[in-house]
Structure 1
Amino acid sequence: MESSRYLQGMLIMLVAFSTILLTGCAKTVRTLYPPNPDRNDNKTVYVVNNYGWHTGIVLSRKDAAPYLHAFDDFKSARYLEIGWGDELYYQAKKITFWMSIRAAFWPTDSVLHVVALQDEPLAHFSDSDVVALELSNRGFIRLVEFIDNSFALDEKGEIITLGSGLYGTSRFYRAEGTFHLFNNCNTWSADAIRSSGFPISTFYVFSSDNMMYQLKQGMQ
């Protein structure tokens, strides 16, 4: 009986602690978000749900350029779509079962995928689920700096280009951080968005659908 009560008490404490963590990590940073609608320097970024499993962040290259200190490619692009993922899986021409298992259960090296866009994101990704998120200028800078810090640098302080990307005008770059089931492309996107002050939890963003759900709920 005593052991049963002890286990029950531990379970309640665990649930309460988890709730506090999830709630705390979903709090708005009031000094950054939401943006003051009367200001003229607010910025819009876009989160795209690609293929139903991967999210990418799209931002204005012109707005982001002053804060992307490690990254100066695609100067003629209007927008940049940026995603993070497992080095082998993300760059593979053909996905195998072993690649999926390796990416999920082994900490692996990561890459960033950058695509140059000319069209408005909502038009370019008309067949995908896209959320347009308005940020304060300070929040936008914080987000871009997060992305900038995700690029791995060589001994000369330069980004490491790995090769052509998946579609259009795009490239892969060596990234910081290791990829695994609990630190995947969607948790990276959530961390980036959270750096802007937007209230999103990164503790259970395993799927792109959950990422999009949290964004839409947080904007209400």
Structure 2
Amino acid sequence: MIFKKIARAIAWIILSFVLFISVYLLAVFVLSMIPVAKEPGTSNNVAIYILTNGDHTDVIVPVKNAVKDWSTEVRYQNTISRDTIAKYVALGWGDKGFYLNTPTWAQLKFSVAFRAAFALSTSAIHTTFCNVPQIGTDCKKIIISNNQYARLVAYVDSSFKRDAQGNIINIKTNANYDSHDAFYEAKGSYNLFYTCNTWANNALKACGQKACLWTPYDRGIFYHYR
């Protein structure tokens, strides 16, 4: 009798898990296809870009313009190269464990994936200084107004965790992807419903650009920029 009860409990757990995954994937597909429209009738002042590596979306902005000078906080000196030539900086939010402990998907540990999926770890912002991005299927250029850019700046600024003096916190690490990037402590936790791509999608919403109603993956965003 007890074995039947155990078997029923296991079957119920498996069924519930399968049902949850099915509903989640359906929501991902449907909500990613529902567009949030671009704000109409605004001026064209600032060129920004969205860039995907196939899994993760970065927002690329000018290092310095009349609205914001990112280099006063996202410092060139925090990169290995300390090169000050780059005129753009890519900004991406994500799980700190993924960023610092998973150089490739082949090295992904179950513990890192589990903690990320269920919001059990902290987050980080990854910044990379770069030149003008090359537009293609993985990179789209968007022209926005100064007012919209100010809203984007405010959104990104609000994602940084700050110390008691109000400074953003550079993460000292050897896990850099190249010689032009750096990591910073961030607010929030990565989970199944709020991923790096959700953050980027919300960045587009913040500055009044085309976006998904909701998406956890990059293809949802880029579907609307075909």
If the length of structure 1 is used for normalisation, what is the TM-score? 0.73
What residue is the counterpart of 1:200 in the other structure? 211
Matches of 1:155 and 1:192, distance apart in 2: 26
What residue is the counterpart of 1:74 in the other structure? 76
What residue is the counterpart of 1:168 in the other structure? 179
Aligned residue among 36, 39, 42 for 1:35: 42
Q: 2:139 aligned with 1:130, yes or no?
A: yes
What secondary structure is seen at the aligned counterpart in 1 of 2:188?
strand
Matches of 1:122 and 1:35, distance apart in 2: 25
Q: Quick check: 2:64–2:70 contact (8 Å CA) kept in 1? A: no
Q: Mapping of 1:29-178 within 5 angstroms?
A: 29-30=39-40, 35-36=42-43, 42-50=45-53, 52-63=54-65, 66=68, 68=70, 71-74=73-76, 76=84, 77-92=86-101, 93=103, 94-117=107-130, 119-122=131-134, 129-164=138-173, 165-178=176-189
The Cα of 1:190 is off from its aligned counterpart by 0.6
Cα 1:65–1:172 change in 2 (3 A) is farther
Unaligned 5+ segments in structure 2 are: 1-29, 78-83
If the length of structure 2 is used for normalisation, what is the TM-score? 0.71
1:133-161: per-residue Cα shift (whole Å, max 9, x none)?
11111111111221111111011111111
Matches of 1:107 and 1:64, distance apart in 2: 39
What secondary structure is seen at the aligned counterpart in 1 of 2:122?
strand
Q: Percent identity?
A: 27
The Cα of 1:105 is off from its aligned counterpart by 2.3
Q: Quick check: 2:74–2:127 contact (8 Å CA) kept in 1? A: no
Task: Work out the number of aligned pairs and report it.
Answer: 183
Unaligned 5+ segments in structure 1 are: 1-18
Q: Quick check: 1:68–1:148 contact (8 Å CA) kept in 2? A: no
Q: Quick check: 2:98–2:112 contact (8 Å CA) kept in 1? A: yes
Amino acid at match of 2:36: A
Matches of 1:182 and 1:107, distance apart in 2: 13
Instruction: Report the aligned-residue RMSD.
Output: 2.7
What residue is the counterpart of 1:12 in the other structure? none
